[in-house]
Structure 1
């Protein structure tokens, strides 16, 4: 039995492109799988399937290597999202145009939350609490006329 496990491990390492590439994929995706490549989307993400794994773990995506560790599920095309989560059984690369794309549909955009592009509402009301602005380090040496409560003591 242990020999069959080692044989399977060597097969998975071989499928993933050798030891170096397997360690890289293990670092990025936290697991190693072998499976059939189903397709690729317009963003460069590659989709795989292996029905020997449990349902829910039998389909996976390898995000475009250009994003490295900064990948996020909003980088996936909506058609592929439905396939990955078993909402549909059709493969978007084999049946393009299903579901149909209409002119009024906007292109998919990455989620900007947590970035400087995130939406921040504008408020005209005055804040009830003033923000604390910490004193700059070394300010005591520059200005000896500061009040005692303004000095920062560390």
Structure 2
């Protein structure tokens, strides 16, 4: 079967089956641009699900599927600090197995990224601008 490539076809259909069928797989492709299969490691209080599959390359073997309540407007800031460390390989122990240490300077409720809104950080400069806008001449 491997000679004719039929093992890849069966693997494709198993991936579709593990992701909930054709309709659910198309929805996951729309939201995530990727179809993966893995074991569910845990969920956070926002409803995000965290998965792991060590058959994938390091750096691609842990991922998050954001809660459907976020729709297509999900952001990396929706990941809680406890799960952030596990996703980025700071620890191999997920927060479901060991209690996460809470620091006073870390906000436990993540807030959305304000870039592009009126709450975005804009630095104040005291220096002279290097480029000045052109002002058209006026007739007197």
Shorter-chain TM-score tier:
0.7 to 0.9
Matching residue of 2:50: 47
Give the alignment's Cα RMSD to 1 decimal. 2.6
So what's the TM-score if we normalise by structure 1? 0.72
Note the C-alpha offset of 1:118: 2.5
Corresponding residue of 1:19: 22
**How many residue pairs align between the two structures?**
130
- 1:62 equivalent in structure 2: 65
How far apart are the structure 2 equivalents of 1:29 and 1:76?
15
Q: Deviations over 1:101-141 (max 9, x none)?
A: 14564333222121233345789xxxxx79xxxxxxxxxxx
Q: What is the alpha-carbon distance in structure 2 between the residues aligned to residue 26 and residue 72 of structure 1?
A: 17
Larger Rg: 1
Correspondence for 1:95: 98
Please point out which of 112, 115, 119 is paired with 1:117.
119
Cα distance in 2, alignment partners of residues 54 and 105 from structure 1:
30
Query: What is the SS of the residue equivalent to 2:40?
Result: strand
| Distance in 1 (alpha carbons) for counterparts of 2:51 and 2:115 | 28
